[in-house]
Amino acid sequence: MADKEYDCIIVGAGPAGLGAGLYAARDRAKTILLEKFYPGGQINTTDRIENYPGYAKISGPDLTNLMLEQVKSFDGEVKTSAEVTKLSRREDGRIEVACDEDVYVGRVVILTPGSSYRNLGVPGEDAFRQAGAGVSYCGTCDAPFFKDKVVVSVGGGNTAVEETLHLAKYAKKVIMVHRRQEYRATQVLVEELMGKVNAADSNIELRLDATVTAIEGKDRVEQAVIKNVKTDQTETVACDGVFIFVGMVPNTGFLKGFVELTEAGFIKCDTAYLRSNVPGVFVAGDCRIGAAMQLVTAVADGVNAAMWMKQYLRDRTWWDAPLSDSLSPGQW
């Protein structure tokens, strides 16, 4: 195989990419991970992970280093500062991956470029977003750190409602701020929320037609300024944290025109085998439709894609097989 020809090219070296890299490299596939910045992805920005099985508590950078060394120990290559800008499918079915001045060619590509949390864009958000300072974008990840505290949640979609309900299991009080009267979340979730809000012992308060306009404090979050968008009246509430649930932005701009994306930019794939609409191109992690947006599910996705890669390389017609006719895990 020539220098830049690989069995498996992985775009991104976050948890999904590193999970895929471990399984592909350990299976003796010639594997490279192309990473725009440095390995680890989103988990690099947190110093406390408590929901990765096997570790009571570990920092993102420590977990990244362990994963990275494991990939390398099986001869997986990792190229950092390597931004993939374009992909195309050759006539022979292999995939060309353009990265800076270089072109790599892979029998299989696994796309794992992840997503970024959408910012609220208010004063204080950036200053307090480092771990432990009180601004968070993931209730499932951080709710236990706010046991018996007061938190503000922002948003009105499914994630906002679900994460607010989760926060309320830990926090003393959750003040949920939503810029309209109506929620975008599904009816069943809204009914569950209203059931909790109207309960006698409720710890969820609503602020409708309202936005958070500033997050304030000295070394960490101490209060949030909430503005009613109809009356322009503001109120300052004392709180220990602000959880922002206003959406995710998938890092898939460079894939437009190559693979099918949803309107919001998530990569379409079948969620059993993680096949995109382009034969030989798998999808894993936070960039795909239906992603749970968790570390462990991103890693698992990467592993799944690397496992199903073998099936594709063995029998290319499998790519078009409908789910019902495809193999079950462990059947090969």
29 binds ligand FAD (CB under 6 A): no
307 binds ligand FAD (CB under 6 A): no
Distance CA 120, CA 47 (A): 22
Return the residue of 64, 159, 164, 251 that touches ligand FAD, per CB under 6 A: 251
Nearest distance, CB of residue 50 and ligand FAD, angstroms: 6
Site string for ligand FAD, 141-180 (x = CB under 6 A): x---------------------------------------
Nearest distance, CB of residue 131 and ligand FAD, angstroms: 6
Nearest distance, CB of residue 255 and ligand FAD, angstroms: 8
Nearer to ligand FAD, 51 or 234 (CB): 51
Q: Which residues, numbered 73-102, are part of the site for ligand FAD (CB under 6 A)?
A: 83-84
Stretch that binds ligand FAD, among 29-37, 191-199, 203-211, 272-280 (CB under 6 A): 29-37
- Interface positions with ligand FAD (CB under 6 A): 11-17, 34-37, 41-43, 45-46, 49, 51, 83-84, 112-115, 138, 141, 251, 254, 285-286, 293-296, 298
